[in-house]
């Protein structure tokens, strides 16, 4: 795996080798390093492994459909996650329902694992609203388009969890506090966000407050058009060390390794040990968004090297080698994906433009006189336009 990480400016040794359970050939890996994490996979059945594969295939189909819809003019923009399915499904499936997730703008696979209908995400990319879902229904916060800022939001939320626990203890005693399910927070960001001051500030706040938060960095090798070697000179998983935050590097294309590392990190955070930094080494096989052209800043050879390490192919080979994936499984999944694709296309094309005054609906959580005054003025302004027949537009 270390060959995936080589760069002249970064010294990668076995010391920095990422955690791995399935290699790029779909073969099981056993070594001293992953033996420490074995216990975090012990609960998985064969059906669980098959469901990991299914989830990754559903997420990829969503990605293909959304990209095509943007090219057809049905979406204004789209941020593909092609190649990052294992990092997102493996980590998302490690979360408890009570944990809170702060995503950036590419975490469609994590949204799927939280039970969110991924098509709702496309309301944002079609431009009909600012999100399309309630953050607290699935404990999955709204997408954040500003790079890295949500790391501070996540730490603030985690510190709130701590305060709530202290209040519960004060009101109900030690026994009541102990019975409450411990919660954790997970924040997702890319390698480019680690160059933002917000992420460093968040690490500092989280460390000194012992906040129950996991920083999950998907190192997909490129911050839009800027490669890793122009962003940092030491492995990213060590970024938290100076702040007192332990880190683990994981093969982000190995869904089992990601799952094990994330379960460990969440347990560590939930039980009062403080924050953890996870670096999932993966690759963004698509564009940063549909508004850029990756052929302008990276080579076909580089893309081909990573396509050979496709995270979905890897788990598929493992299932086949272990004789637990059948032709009937394949036929059922293919039919499901076809139906899902049709649903995504139909949903997006059914979305209509919202009322122009809807931008005033969610400014505050409770009625606000100034906002209502602005709404009334804007309504009168809109009604002041008339068409050729003398009717209001």
Tell me the backbone φ, ψ of residue 227, rounded to 5 degrees.
-75, 165
For the chain, how big is the Rg over CA atoms in Å?
23
297 a catalytic residue: yes
Closest C-alpha to 289, from 4, 57, 63, 58? 63
Cα(94)–Cα(251) distance, integer angstroms: 16
**What is the bridge-based pairing of β-strands 222-223 and 226-227?**
antiparallel
288 a catalytic residue: yes
Cα(288)–Cα(14) distance, integer angstroms: 30
DSSP 244-292: T--EEEEETT-HHHHHHHHHHHHHHHHTTS--EEEEEE----S-SSTTS
Going by the DSSP 8-state scheme, the letter that residue 295 receives in this structure is G
Among residues 106, 126, 259, 284, the one annotated as catalytic is 284
Among residues 297, 343, 364, 381, the one annotated as catalytic is 297
Among residues 270, 288, 314, 317, the one annotated as catalytic is 288
284 a catalytic residue: yes
Cα(165)–Cα(231) distance, integer angstroms: 38
Active site residues: 284, 288, 297
């Amino acid at each position: 795996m270390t060959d995936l990480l080589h760069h002249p400016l970064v010294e990668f040794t076995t010391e920095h080798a990422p955690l791995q359970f399935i290699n790029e050939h779909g073969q099981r890996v056993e070594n001293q390093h992953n033996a420490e994490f074995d216990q975090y996979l012990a609960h998985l059945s064969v059906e669980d492994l098959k469901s990991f594969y299914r989830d990754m295939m559903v997420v990829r189909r969503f990605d293909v459909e959304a990209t095509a819809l943007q090219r057809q003019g049905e979406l204004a923009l789209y941020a593909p996650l092609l190649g990052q399915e294992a990092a997102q499904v493996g980590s998302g499936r490690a979360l408890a329902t009570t944990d809170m997730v702060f995503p950036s703008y590419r975490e469609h696979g994590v949204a799927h694992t939280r039970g969110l209908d991924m098509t709702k995400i496309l309301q944002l990319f079609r431009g009909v609203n600012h999100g399309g879902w309630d953050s607290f229904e699935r404990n999955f916060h709204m997408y954040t388009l500003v790079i890295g800022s949500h790391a501070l939001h996540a730490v603030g939320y985690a510190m709130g969890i701590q305060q709530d626990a202290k209040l519960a203890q004060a009101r109900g005693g030690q026994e009541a506090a102990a019975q409450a399910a411990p919660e954790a927070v997970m924040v997702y960001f890319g390698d480019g966000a680690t160059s933002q001051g917000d992420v460093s500030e968040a690490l500092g706040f989280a460390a000194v407050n012992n906040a129950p938060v996991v920083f999950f960095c998907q190192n997909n090798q490129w911050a839009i058009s800027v490669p890793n070697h122009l962003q940092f000179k030491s492995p990213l998983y060590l970024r938290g060390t100076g702040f007192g935050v332990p880190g683990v590097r994981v093969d982000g294309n190995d869904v089992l390794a990601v799952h094990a590392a994330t379960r460990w990190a969440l347990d560590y955070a939930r039980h009062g040990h403080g924050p953890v930094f996870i670096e999932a080494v993966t690759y963004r096989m698509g564009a940063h968004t549909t508004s850029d052209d990756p052929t302008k800043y990276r080579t076909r050879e580089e893309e081909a090297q990573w396509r050979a390490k496709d995270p979905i192919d890897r788990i598929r080979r493992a299932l086949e080698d272990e004789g637990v994936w059948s032709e009937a499984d394949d036929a059922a999944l293919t039919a499901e994906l076809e139906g899902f694709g049709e649903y995504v296309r139909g949903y997006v094309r059914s979305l209509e433009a919202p009322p122009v005054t809807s931008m005033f609906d969610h400014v505050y959580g409770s009625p606000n006189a100034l906002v209502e005054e602005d709404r009334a003025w804007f309504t009168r302004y809109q009604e002041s336009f008339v068409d050729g027949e003398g009717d209001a537009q």
